[in-house]
Homo-oligomer: A and B are copies of this chain.
């Protein structure tokens, strides 16, 4: 996971801007039928025929969105693509292309950019998206990544944040909170390392959590899984800021309330152990930890039978009238009002 610090480095300036772009983009393959013209002109040309076009964009700043002291550049490249692909998946659409712009300060050698683009290439191949354009420039400070993801869908497939009705069921893919606790483990190891650089971390008990943080995956399988179940999601959003925040988005967009059941929230056994070790409440982490990139969606109540035993999905609650409010129903069967706490501040209490 760590970079080899002994290798010889090459300055980016030695290639020039056009040389750098050519060097970094030569491994990109074109797989999508809709990509007519990719990198190398003023713009790319795409053909979606009778499909609708889905567009989402993200800006990632070193020191704000990522910390290179525990995020290897290859993982960062992978995760940057995943985060944007996830937004397309959250529309119940198929990701097809991305553009990738990168700005770096002169402290980054060419080899660092190669690592970053190796991660981008890996993710592009894993998610079958074509890298069709971008921009490479210098920054005054740190690394900046801007990604625009493009996808396609038939109009009747698209799931917005709106579209949910009262009595719809709230469903989530995968499990929650692991990416956030992975970050806590990595931050603790960073502090240990700063005190004693010879201390080799033993991370065997945290592999799942660390992988969820460093190499998350977007749920581009959910669209097909739901199609096979013959379920059309009525509303959908991806979980990047934490379950609580996203559930509240769905409620507000639909002018509805909800009951969310604490005992139903899916968590991994490793999360339970690590929350005990860190002495933090599992439900708080699962509700508010971000970067899981799972999908949260609503389905009609009559679809309950189709989905109830599916291992990919968990029914975690249901929508109610707006006047009833947004609540978490605890294991002790008390109702607590839902709050979006923002995962940056979870560990500070």
Contacts and interface: CB of A to CB of B under 8 A. Distances in A.
Interface in A120-177: 132-135, 137-142, 144, 146, 148-151, 153, 155, 158, 160-162
Interface string A219-237: 0000000000000000011
A43 B151 contact: yes
Contacts of A73: none
B56 A161 contact: no
Given A142-B140, A148-B99, A161-B41, A53 B46 contact: yes
B237 A133 contact: no
Contacts of A48: 48, 53
Given A140-B61, A144-B144, A132 B55 contact: yes
Contact of A103 (B47, B59, B150): B59
Interface of A is mostly: strand
Interface centre among A41, A48, A137 (most CB of B within 10 A): A41
B91 A55 contact: no
A59 B133 CA distance: 12
B99 A43 contact: no
Contact of A52 (B41, B47, B63, B137): B47
A90 interface: yes
B47 A53 contact: yes
A56 B36 contact: no
A23 B148 CA distance: 23
Contacts of A203: none
Nearest to A132: B55
The complex is assembled from copies of this chain, and their number is 2
B139 A64 contact: yes
Nearest to A138: B64
Given A91-B41, A158-B45, A57 B148 contact: yes
Interface in A1-59: 36-37, 40-50, 52-59
Interface string A175-191: 00000000000000000
A61 B99 CA distance: 18
A265 to B, nearest CB: 21
A283 B146 CA distance: 37
Contacts of A160: 37, 41
Interface of A: 36-37, 40-50, 52-59, 61-65, 87-88, 90-91, 93, 97, 99, 101-103, 132-135, 137-142, 144, 146, 148-151, 153, 155, 158, 160-162, 236-238
